[in-house]
C-alpha cells in the first residue's frame, strides 16, 4: 500500500512543481507589468485546474493516511495536508492569493527525493552510493524549495502587503497563519534531514 501511496505522491509532486514553476516564472500571469489587476487577485483556468488537482490529491492522500493510520504518516502529515487543503480551497474559491499558494506548492518538488529515500531504505540500499547522492540532493532541494523559497515568500508578502490586505478576511488571516506553521514544519524536517545526511556520510566514511 505504501508503495502505491508514495508513487501517487511522486506523480502529484512532479505535476505540482512543474505547474507552479510554469505559472510563476514562464507565464505572464503574475508578471508585475502584464496586467492592471492586483497580483493577489490574478488567476487563470490553468491555475484553477492545477489547484483543483492538488486538492484532490491531498484529500485522497489524507483519506489513506487516516485509513492506515499511523502507517503512512503521523499527526504531522494530517496537519500538513489539512492546512494545505484549507488554504488551496480558499484560494481556488476566491481566486485570490494564488501566487502564494503556487509558491508553497512548488515546495512539493522535494517529495520525489523523500520517496526515493524510502524506496532505497526498504530495498536495503541505505549503504549504497545512490542513497548518499539522493540524500545530498534532498538536502539542497529542501534548502532551496522549503527554506529559501519560504524566506522569499514572506519577503514578497511584506513588499506587497498593501495588496495582501485586500484579500477577503478569512483568506487574509489564513495567509498570515498557515505559511508560518508550514515553514516551521519545514525547518523541523530539514533539521532531521541534516542529521540523517551527516549520519549516513559518517557511516560511509567509516566503512572506507
Alpha helix locations (H) across the chain?
2-21, 45-67, 75-94, 98-106, 111-122, 129-142, 149-159, 161-164, 169-207
Say if CB 120 and CB 126 are below 8 A apart.
Answer: yes
Residue with cell 487563470: 44
Among 145-149, 156-160, 201-205, where is mean pLDDT lowest?
201-205
Report pLDDT for 70: 79
In whole angstroms, give the CA distance from residue 179 to residue 22: 21
C-alpha cell at 108: 512539493
DSSP state letters, 113-140: HHHHHHHHHHTT-TTSHHHHHHHHHHHH
In whole angstroms, give the CA distance from residue 203 to residue 173: 46
Model confidence at 205, in pLDDT bands (50, 70, 90)? confident
C-alpha cell at 123: 530495498
Share above pLDDT 70 across residues of the chain, in percent, rounded to a whole number: 98
CA atoms within a 13 Å half-sphere pointing along the CA-CB vector of 4: 6
Model confidence at 22, in pLDDT bands (50, 70, 90)? very high
Q: Which residues contact 29 (CB under 8 A, 6 or more apart)?
A: 23, 42, 43, 44, 47
pLDDT digits (tens, 9 = 90+) for 99-140: 999 999 999 999 999 999 999 998 999 889 999 999 999 999
Report pLDDT for 208: 61
* pLDDT greater at residue 72 or residue 33: 33
Among 36-40, 81-85, 130-134, 199-203, where is mean pLDDT lowest?
199-203
Report pLDDT for 1: 62
Strand runs labelled E in 71-169: none
Chain-wide mean pLDDT for the chain? 93
In whole angstroms, give the CA distance from residue 196 to residue 104: 24
In whole angstroms, give the CA distance from residue 107 to residue 26: 17
Is it the case that residue 71 has pLDDT exceeding 80?
Answer: no
Mutual angle of helices 45-67 and 75-94, in 10-degree steps: 150
In whole angstroms, give the CA distance from residue 53 to residue 97: 17
Amino acid at each position: 500500500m505504501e508503495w502505491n501511496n508514495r508513487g501517487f505522491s511522486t506523480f502529484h509532486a512532479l505535476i505540482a512543481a512543474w505547474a507552479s514553476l510554469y505559472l510563476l516564472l514562464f507565464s505572464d500571469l503574475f508578471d508585475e507589468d502584464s496586467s492592471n489587476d492586483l497580483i493577489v487577485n490574478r488567476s487563470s483556468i490553468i491555475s484553477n485546474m492545477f489547484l483543483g488537482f492538488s486538492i484532490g490529491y491531498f484529500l485522497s492522500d489524507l483519506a489513506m493516511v487516516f485509513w492506515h493510520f499511523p502507517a503512512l504518516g503521523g499527526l504531522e502529515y494530517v496537519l500538513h495536508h489539512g492546512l494545505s487543503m484549507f488554504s488551496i480551497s480558499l484560494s481556488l474559491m476566491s481566486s485570490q492569493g494564488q501566487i502564494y499558494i503556487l509558491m508553497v506548492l512548488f515546495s512539493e518538488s522535494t517529495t520525489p527525493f523523500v520517496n526515493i529515500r524510502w524506496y532505497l531504505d526498504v530495498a536495503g540500499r541505505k549503504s549504497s552510493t545512490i542513497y548518499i547522492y539522493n540524500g545530498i540532493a534532498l538536502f539542497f532541494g529542501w534548502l532551496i524549495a522549503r527554506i529559501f523559497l519560504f524566506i522569499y515568500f514572506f519577503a514578497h508578502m511584506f513588499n506587497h502587503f498593501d495588496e495582501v490586505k485586500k484579500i477577503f478576511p478569512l483568506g487574509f488571516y489564513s495567509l498570515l497563519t498557515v505559511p508560518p506553521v508550514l515553514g516551521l514544519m519545514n525547518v523541523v524536517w530539514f533539521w532531521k534531514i541534516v542529521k540523517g545526511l551527516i549520519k549516513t556520510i559518517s557511516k560511509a566514511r567509516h566503512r572506507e
